[in-house]
Amino acid sequence: MADDPLSGAVALVTGASSGIGAATARRLAREGAAVMLVARRRDRLDEVVSGIEKNGDLAYGLEADLTRPEIADEVVQQTVDRLGRLDVLINNAGIMLLGPALHTTVAEWDRMVALNVAGLLHVTHAAVPHLIGSAATSPRQVADLVNVSSTSGRVARPGSSVYNLTKFGLNGFTESLRQELITEHVRVSVIEPGTVDTELVDHLAGVVGAAARRQVDGIEALRADDVADAITYIVTRDRRIAVNELLVRAAEQTW
């Protein structure tokens, strides 16, 4: 519909095969955006895209490993080539591997840094010129970049040192980039969800995984759709409004 808030806009969502990414892609499509979904799992990606298309909305899926700079560049370029522009980037792809530093492998740390930091930087670097161009030519007169961080970017806890590193760093990067792109009419925002009932916890094994699952089960966690609603709120504001930072905790969450 022409009166949808994101009518005519193009959105790129990373980590879009499940959880927050999938929910956000569905919600942005309902608001009128054509959506490019990016993830590693082809089967899950196709399932989400199919669901969006059944609602009469436009979506495509790209299977990609964003930790490789050339692939990140290609994903952004394919989005622009196929859909004509890029108005909204949602950097959601990430992984959480918890455990005490003494008993955690460097390989696990490297996996988190590769996706949560390097992958996000690669996509952002490729996307920013297109976002600037769209802000200058769009009827909305603004473009949006939203980084999905975490309460772990605000509160450090034992067993999550490198995950904290990636999210604290993401918050600082977002604020600096926000200031750089103000004059280009590209809004840069960070959203920090608390405990969300998604597959992120399922990546954890053994004692750490069991403890994390008990923590999630001990409260009424946020749903992926709750976070998608918050992201959609950010990117559908009038151009005069910038929601720079949004902290969304489960109501019963104390940390």
Render pLDDT for 54-82 as a digit per residue (tens, 0 to 9): 999 999 999 999 999 999 999 999 999 99
**pLDDT tens profile 3-24:** 799 999 999 999 999 999 999 9
CA distance 134 to 141: 8
Of the chain, the percentage scoring pLDDT greater than 90 comes to: 87
User: How large is the average pLDDT for residues 211-233?
Assistant: 86
**Rounded to 5°, angle at Cα 46 from 13 and 222:** 50
State the CB neighbour count (10 A cutoff) for residue 8.
15
Q: Indicate the pTM of the whole model.
A: 0.93
Q: Residue 214's pLDDT is what?
A: 65
- Confidence check: pLDDT of 212 > 60: no
Residue 132 clears pLDDT 50, i.e. is over it? yes
- pLDDT tens digit sequence for 186-200: 999 999 999 998 665
Active site residue 60: no
pLDDT at 1 over 50: no
Residue 45: CA atoms inside 13 Å, Cβ hemisphere, count? 18
Q: What is the model's pLDDT at position 218? A: 77
Quote the pLDDT of residue 85.
Answer: 98
Q: Cα angle at 65 between 58 and 135, to 5 degrees?
A: 50
Residue 39 pLDDT > 60: yes
Phi and psi at residue 65, to the nearest 5°: -105, 100
- Predicted pLDDT at 206: 55
pLDDT at 207: 52
**Domains along the chain?**
10-248 (3.40.50.720)
- pLDDT tens digit string along 140-199? 999 999 999 999 999 999 999 999 999 999 999 999 999 999 999 999 999 999 999 866
For helices 120-137 and 161-181, give the axis angle rounded to 10 degrees: 20
Q: Which of 10, 117, 163, 186 is catalytic?
A: 163
| pLDDT tens string 79-131 | 999 999 999 999 999 999 999 999 999 999 999 999 999 999 999 999 999 99
Rg, C-alpha atoms of the chain: 17
